[in-house]
Amino acid sequence: MNRLDWNALDNAARRAALARPAQSRAETLRNGVEQIIARVRADGDQALRELSARYDRCTLDVIEVSSQEIDEAEARLAPTLKAAIDEAAARIEAFHRVAAPQPVALDTARGVRVERVLRAINRVGLYVPAGSAPLPSTALMLGVPARIAGCTEVVLCSPARADGRCDEAVLYAARITGVHKVFKLGGAQAIAAMAYGTESVPKCDKLFGPGNAWVTEAKLQVSADPDGAAIDMPAGPSEVLVIADDKANATFVAADLLSQAEHGPDSQVILLSPSPTLLDAVEAEVERQCALLPRADIARQALSQSRLIAVSSLAQAVEVSNRYAPEHLIVQAEQPRDLLDAVTSAGSVFLGAWTPESVGDYCSGSNHVLPTYGYARSYSGVSVASFQKQITVQELSPAGLREIGPCTATLAAAEQLEAHRRAVTLRLAALETAA
C-alpha cells in the first residue's frame, strides 16, 4: 500500500491521494454496450439467447426461471445457508420497515391542507451479479425494500451458469422476498431487456443493483434515454475508508481493508490514522493476511491503488474522509461515536472495533447497495424510499384561498407571470362577488 503524510502534501498531491482508480468509459466499452442495447431492442429474446451463449456460455431455451426450478434450487440449498438467508432477510425487513417514509398531512394556513402521499413505483428491475461469485445478499437488499414499498411487479435478472441454471441461493432469496419474475440474464443485455422490454422480459420503470463496467455503462445509457429506465444511482468500484487511532486493533483494521480489496482489482481501500505505530502495524498485517486469501491476487491489485495516510488528529481524519466521501466508513477509535456528528458524506458508517463492514454487507439490517466513487456527497443508499414516489397534494377552502391568494398573486407578479396571477385573482374576485 502507498504510504503518505497528509500534512506534507500540497493541494494537487492531496487530490491525487484521494483519486479513485479511473473508471473505464472507453470508446470500445461505450460502443460495445450501445450495440448490445440496440440488438436487444431490435431482436428481443433471440438477441438475449445469442448474447447469453456468447458471454455467459450457456444455452437458454427458456429465459424465465420456472417455479419448478426455484423449488429444485431450494431443495438443493444447504439448510444452514437457507437459515442464514432467512435470518438476514428478517433483520433487513425490520430495519427498512421502520425507516420507510411516512405520509404527511399539515394545515399550513387556515383552510390550506398540504399532504405528501406515497406511491410505489409500478414495475422495478433488480440486477444481481454472479460474475466471480453469486450475490444472494444483493437479492435480499433489493427485494426486501421493493416488497415493503409495494411495487406491483418486481423483476430480477441474474446470469445463468454454463448449465443454464441460476445460483440456488439467489433464487431462494428472490422467492422469500417476493420477487415476481426471475430471468437467466446477465450483463448489459439484462439491463437492456429490463429497460426496454422483450417478448419475455417486461419493461421496467426503474433499475437497481451493482455490476461490472458493462452493466454500469448500460445503466448509464438507458437512464439517459427518455424511452429507457431510471436507475438507483451512479456506480463505481467498491471502497472502504478506515479511521483508526492508536488504540485500534491492527489485525481488525487489516481485515477490514482486505474485505473490500478482495472485491475486485479496481476496489480502493484507505486508512487514515494519527498513529505512525498503527500505520506500521497495519501495513505488516495486511501483507500477512493477504497471503492467506484465496483471492490474494485480486486483493494485491486493489492494494496497489490504495493508501495509508498519516493525519494530525482524528478530527482531521474525518475532514479527509468527508472530502473522499467513501461508500463504507469504518471508525475504529476509542470513542467512535464522538466522531459521528462530524461525518457528512459516507454511504454507511461502522462504529467501533466490533463492527466489521461485512455485517452491513449481509445481515445487520442496513442496505449494502450504496453510493460509490464520491457519490456519497449527494446520494443515499438504497432504501424503501428508492422504490417509491412521493407526491404532494394540496386542497384549499374558500377561506384558504383568501388567506394565501394575495401572497401567491404578489409573487407571480414579481416573476411577470400574469396568467399565474390571474388564476388566483379571478377566483378571489368571484369570492367577493358571491359574498
**Above 70 in pLDDT, residue 100?**
yes
**Above 90 in pLDDT, residue 27?**
no
- pLDDT band, residue 145 (cuts 50/70/90): very high
pTM: 0.94
Q: Which pLDDT tens digit goes with each residue over 386-432?
A: 999 999 999 999 999 999 999 999 999 999 999 999 999 999 999 99
- Give residue 71's Cα distance to chain centre: 29
Predicted pLDDT at 24: 61
Residue 328 annotated among the catalytic residues of the structure: yes
Answer with the residue of higher pLDDT: 25 or 336. 336
> From the annotation, which residues make up the binding site for NAD(+)?
127, 189, 212
Q: Which of 327, 334, 368, 418 is catalytic?
A: 327
Q: Lowest mean pLDDT: which of 28-32, 115-119, 137-141, 343-347? A: 28-32
Predicted pLDDT at 176: 98
**Above 90 in pLDDT, residue 7?**
yes
Predicted pLDDT at 22: 76
The domain boundary, picked from 231, 255, 286, lies at: 231
Element (H, E) at 396: strand 388-396
* Inside any domain, residue 361: yes
- pLDDT band, residue 93 (cuts 50/70/90): very high
- pLDDT band, residue 5 (cuts 50/70/90): very high
Same domain? For 55 and 190 the reply is yes
Predicted pLDDT at 134: 86
Q: Which pLDDT tens digit goes with each residue over 215-271?
A: 999 999 999 999 999 999 988 889 999 999 999 999 999 999 999 999 989 899 999
Same domain? For 11 and 147 the reply is no
Quote the percentage of the chain above a pLDDT of 90.
Answer: 93
Extract the C-alpha cell encoding 92.
433487513
* Inside any domain, residue 371: no
Q: Which pLDDT tens digit goes with each residue over 289-326?
A: 999 999 999 999 999 999 999 999 999 999 999 999 99
Same domain? For 189 and 66 the reply is yes
Mean pLDDT over 358-365 rounds to 97
> From the annotation, which residues make up the binding site?
127, 189, 212, 238, 260, 263, 328, 361, 415, 420
Same domain? For 9 and 46 the reply is no
Q: In b/e form, how buried is each residue of 199-222, taking b as 16+ CB within 10 angstroms?
A: eebebbbbbbbbbbbbbbbbbbbb
**Above 70 in pLDDT, residue 191?**
yes
Same domain? For 132 and 157 the reply is yes
* Inside any domain, residue 380: no
Mean pLDDT over 91-119 rounds to 98
**Tally of structural domains, the chain:** 3
Q: Which of 93, 96, 262, 328 is catalytic?
A: 328
The domain boundary, picked from 200, 231, 262, lies at: 231
> From the annotation, which residues make up the binding site for Zn(2+)?
260, 263, 361, 420
| Domain with 59 in it | 27-98+120-231
Per DSSP, 380 falls in state -
> From the annotation, which residues make up the binding site for substrate?
238, 260, 263, 328, 361, 415, 420
Residue 327 annotated among the catalytic residues of the structure: yes
> What CA–CA distance (Å, rounded) separates 48 from 184?
10
**Above 90 in pLDDT, residue 25?**
no
Do strands 307-310 and 206-208 pair parallel, antiparallel, or not at all (unpaired)? unpaired
> What CA–CA distance (Å, rounded) separates 161 from 184?
9
- pLDDT band, residue 131 (cuts 50/70/90): confident
Please, what is the average pLDDT of the chain? 96
* Inside any domain, residue 326: yes
- Give residue 154's Cα distance to chain centre: 17
Mean pLDDT over 364-382 rounds to 96
* Inside any domain, residue 110: no
Q: What are the residues whose beta carbons fall under 8 Å from the beta carbon of 75, sequence distance 6 or more?
A: none
CATH of the domain at 252: 3.40.50.1980
The domain boundary, picked from 204, 231, 258, lies at: 231
